[in-house]
Each structure stands twice: as structure tokens, then as C-alpha cells.
Amino acid sequence: MLLRALFPNHEPVNEQHQQQQPPPSNHVPADVGHAGPDQPAGGRNEVGNRAVPPAVDKHHRPGEGGSELIGEVDAGTIAGRRHRVVRAVEVNVSGFATIPEELLWKICRDLNAFQLCQARLICRRWNRIIGTSSLMDKLKVRLPGGCTLRSNCEELGVLGGSRYTRVVLDRCMILKPAGWWPMVSGGLHTLSLIYCNVSTEELFEMLKLTPNLRNLTIGVHFESYEIFKNVCPGLRTLALPHVDKDSSLKVLEFIRSVGKTLENLSVQGGDDKFWTNLPEEFEKVRLKRFTCGIKDSRMLEKLLQTQPSIEELILTGVHDADLELGKTLPNLKRLEILVRDTLDGKPLLENLQQLEHLKLESIEFSKPELNVNWSKDFPNLNSLKLKSFDVKDWKKFFEECPRIKNLNSLQLISVDATTKITDFNLPKQTLKTLKISNCKFPTHFTKQLLNLYPNLEEVSLERTADITDAIVQKLCQNAKRLRSFSVTACKITESSVEHLIDHCDALEKVRIWNCGTIPHNRWQRLRKHRNVQVQYKV
């Protein structure tokens, strides 16, 4: 069981929009070495970033909402290289000595997580400014899986005095934390313990020694549910990756006990008896987000009728297009569903004008004239994700998209456009995020698609045969605001790296995986030219 607790002694915080405050003038930094005021701070001078979500359940995303702002710092990388002095940023800092700290803080406020990690290396003063809690909230440190945490271990050299506010411990062995945890816990407000080896007594001791803790994500067994019912009276989020027959009654009791505060629930597994009895436990529950693997559509409808407050619904088991979600859930803003059926004349997508995010998988329309009128049916969409989706008329589809005024993200997965080749010379559109994965697109189709979106800031291309250096060149020449570029298992070479260097002045992050060998000097040139965060894997 994964628990995420918001402790009742603290006001809940929307972490994505948390108000940031400049550092106080009397702010005293933790020890960061013996460097002078304008010399690189010693001790922690090389940082590796890794995008690995802490959630175990793939359908449950704790704290979703700030993923673009929060970066993960791999503490194993830091600890393994802590005695090497690497000047990741070469800057003449003498000119910054007279700039007021409040102005420097405002500059740093607009940096992303990777840039903040780099800027901390410039000098002790910058490290102190970035060390304020409001800026450190953009960073999350994740200790390497399988490490042992004890007094004087190498990882504590990273955590101790670092002022991180978010820590993820994944499969770590925790020994006698009472003696060393206070070095880490003073500034923590978010802690994730995923399948760590720690006794219940020591875990409670850690929680007592974390006075500012607001968010706790933890994996436990249901044998402990009585204990955690008392420890987490303000539980807001509960993820149950697998409910078996033997534990179903305990699960129902636990849901009832935390029902007054529970807002987000994710349940996979469960037999018919569990799902039949669950509505009775929902009397005091007012869910905002619900993820479930229920397979019986009638049981699902009965369940949803008790929760008209749901704003986000993710269905992994029901594939029925006859669901009338628009009538049952008037507040629904996000819908993710896999439908193994045609939608012609079916009520699934009716009365959903309030939707902001829509993910549809494996939906087909048997008659072209019954295609969705996207701008009329979903006028408030921010993001649209289509998987194995049969589009009869691509030109009509792309004509509709700009009429959805808030649409800024489009993701196409396993879509085949080879048999529906068409030219669509349309006005430019304002989409900011485009993701293409495992699609079959002719070259000229892909080029037309990229030409539509000059304002792209994030692009991800995966396992699509048509993606070549020429496509990347077209993208780079067209998308002058590109900040993040990711490509996986596509036919690109070092020429694509050159295109990124030549054309993408706003670039912040590049990820290229399984695309063949690219010479090391190209990566070095990209890093030096743009100070870009680079992730590369052959």
C-alpha cells in the first residue's frame, strides 16, 4: 500500500504554485566548504539528474502538477564524485559582487532545476541564495536504490546541511536513524519512503524528528494499517497497487477510517465483493481524483454516482463506450480511458465540455462523418493524448485544433497515417508540447506537422521510423523556442546534435537514447555552447 499523508498540523500547500519569497538579509548558510565569497563552493560540485518517478503504481502520480518545475538530483552521483572539483559553470563572478541579493534571487527564481544545480557551483554567495527554501523546492534528491543509510555514510555528506526540502528513499536500508536523521530532516517538508528496510519503531522516530513534514509517501503492508490510521489522520492520497481477496475487508475498513480527508484514491485488483461493498464506504468520502481497475461497467456507474465531486478519472479496467460520464460527473476535468469499441452513437464523450485533459486509447469511428467535433465537444482542453486512434481526415483534425483555445499539448501514440496521406497548408498554431511515439508517418506528413507549430517548447520523438536528421533539422529551424528535446530509438546521427547547436538558442535539456553512437566531442560542444542538461545512452 502506498500512503501519502498531508499532516493536519500544517496547512496544505499547492506546491506547484507555492509563493516564493526572497532570502532574508540575515540568512546564514550551511557549511558548503571553505571557499571565499566569490570562489566555487567546495564539497558538492558535480550533479547528475535522473528522471525516475518515485511512485510505484504506474497509474498513481503523487504530487502531480509540478513535474516541469521539479528536478531530481541523483545523490549517488554526487557522493561518488564528491572529492573531484569540477567547474561545471565557468563564469567570471567578480562583476556580480555588487548586485543586490534580492535581484540575484529574482534571476535564480526563473531558472529550472538543472540550471539551479549548475548555478550553485559558481560561488558561495550564489549557493547561499539558491539555498533558500523557496528555490530549493524546485529540487528533489533521490538516493540510489539499495544503499545503506547509517551514521557517517557517504550519502549523508550530500544530505547533511544541504537544505533540500524533498527527499526520496527508494529500497534503502535505514539503520539507527535517531543519531543522524536530524542532520537531514530539519528543512524537509516532503518525504518518500518506497519499500525501505526500516523497523516500525525507527520509522516513527524519523517522523517525530521531521517537524516540518507535510507530505509523506510510504509503502506499507496492510498488517500495519491500524498503526498508520492513527499516525496519518489527515490522509489525502491512498494508492493500492494490488488488492487481493484476503486483504479486501481490511482495505475497506481503512478507506472508511480515512474517508473524511481522503481526496485521491487509486485501486487496482479487488474482487467483485470488494467493488460491490466499496460504495458503502464512500458515504463520507469526497474524491477529487480516482484511478481504478474495476472491469464491470455497472459496478463502476454505481460507484461513480456516489462521487459527483470527482475531477480526474483514470479507468484501467472498463472499456465500455456506453458510460454516461458527463451526466454522472459534472466536475470532471481529466479523463483517461481505454475503449475497445466504436464510438458511433455512444454517449461516452457527450456532455464533457468542461474537460481540460483527455486521453483516449484505441478508439475508432466506423463512419467518417461521425468524427468528433473537438472544438465544440471539448472547448476547454489543455492536453490531448490519442493512442491507436483512427483519424479519418487529418486536415479536418488539424483545422479543429486551433479552435480549442487552451490546447497546448498533443501526444500521438501508435497512430498510422500512411494510408491517409494528405496535404494541409494551414495557418500556424500555438501548440507548445508535441509528443510522437511509435507512429507510422510519411516524411512529408511529419514535416507538415512540425511546420504547423513554430511555438513548440517541448518535443519528444520515440520509435518512429521516419524521424531522421532531416526531420530534426526542420524542427530546429522552425521551433525557435524549443527548450526540451527528447528522441528515442530513431535514425538520427551527430548531424542532429549540430542542428540543435546551430538553431536552438533557448534549449535547456536534451535526451537522446538508443539512437546509435554519437561522438563524445559533439556532446561536449553542445554542453559548452548552451550549458544544456544532456542525457545520452547508446
Q: Is residue 381 within 8 Å of residue 374, measured between CB atoms?
A: yes
The set of residues, in sequence order, having a beta carbon less than 8 Å from that of 162 and lying 6+ positions away, is 30, 44, 141
Residue 91: its pLDDT value, please?
Answer: 47
Residue 480: its pLDDT value, please?
Answer: 92
Domain CATH code at residue 522: 3.80.10.10
C-alpha grid cell, residue 145 = 536504490
Is residue 113, in this structure, part of any structural domain at all?
Answer: no
Q: What is the pLDDT of residues 325-357, one digit of tens each?
A: 888 888 889 988 876 655 555 677 777 777 888
Is residue 466, in this structure, part of any structural domain at all?
Answer: yes
Residue 380: its pLDDT value, please?
Answer: 82
Q: Which secondary-structure segment (H or E) carries 242?
A: strand 235-243
Q: Could you tell me how many residues make up the chain?
A: 538
Residue 269: its pLDDT value, please?
Answer: 84
Write out the residue range of the structural domain in which residue 503 sits: 412-426+448-538
Residue 473: its pLDDT value, please?
Answer: 94
Q: Is residue 415 within 8 Å of residue 449, measured between CB atoms?
A: no
Number of domains in the chain: 1
CA 323 – CA 313 distance, rounded (Å): 13
Residue 60: its pLDDT value, please?
Answer: 40
Is residue 486, in this structure, part of any structural domain at all?
Answer: yes
The set of residues, in sequence order, having a beta carbon less than 8 Å from that of 318 and lying 6+ positions away, is 294, 295, 296, 297, 300, 337
Q: Are strands 166-170 and 190-194 parallel, antiparallel or unpaired?
A: parallel
Other beta carbons less than 10 A from residue 386's beta carbon: 20
pTM for the predicted model, two decimal places: 0.63
Is residue 507, in this structure, part of any structural domain at all?
Answer: yes
Q: Three-state SS for 400? A: helix
What do you get for the CA distance between the two ends of the chain, in Å?
36
Is residue 59, in this structure, part of any structural domain at all?
Answer: no
Q: What is the pLDDT of residues 402-428, one digit of tens each?
A: 888 888 999 999 888 876 666 777 888
Angle in degrees, 0-180, between the axes of helices 297-305 and 272-281, rounded to the nearest 10? 10
Is residue 475, in this structure, part of any structural domain at all?
Answer: yes
Is residue 499, in this structure, part of any structural domain at all?
Answer: yes
Q: Is residue 490 within 8 Å of residue 515, measured between CB atoms?
A: yes
Q: Tens of pLDDT along the chain (538 residues)?
A: 655 554 443 333 333 334 444 444 433 333 333 333 333 333 332 233 333 333 333 344 433 333 233 345 555 444 443 333 333 344 455 555 666 667 776 767 667 666 766 776 677 777 777 666 576 666 667 777 778 888 877 777 666 656 777 888 888 888 888 888 888 887 788 888 877 888 888 888 888 888 887 777 777 666 666 667 666 667 788 888 778 777 788 888 888 888 888 898 988 888 888 888 888 888 888 999 999 888 888 888 889 999 999 999 998 887 776 788 888 888 889 988 876 655 555 677 777 777 888 877 655 443 433 356 777 777 888 888 888 877 777 888 888 888 888 889 999 998 888 766 667 778 888 899 999 999 988 888 898 889 899 999 999 999 998 899 999 999 999 999 999 999 999 999 999 999 999 999 899 899 999 988 888 888 888 888 777 888 888 7
C-alpha grid cell, residue 238 = 491512498
Residue 10: its pLDDT value, please?
Answer: 38
Is residue 506, in this structure, part of any structural domain at all?
Answer: yes
Q: Is residue 277 within 8 Å of residue 302, measured between CB atoms?
A: no
Residue 396: its pLDDT value, please?
Answer: 82
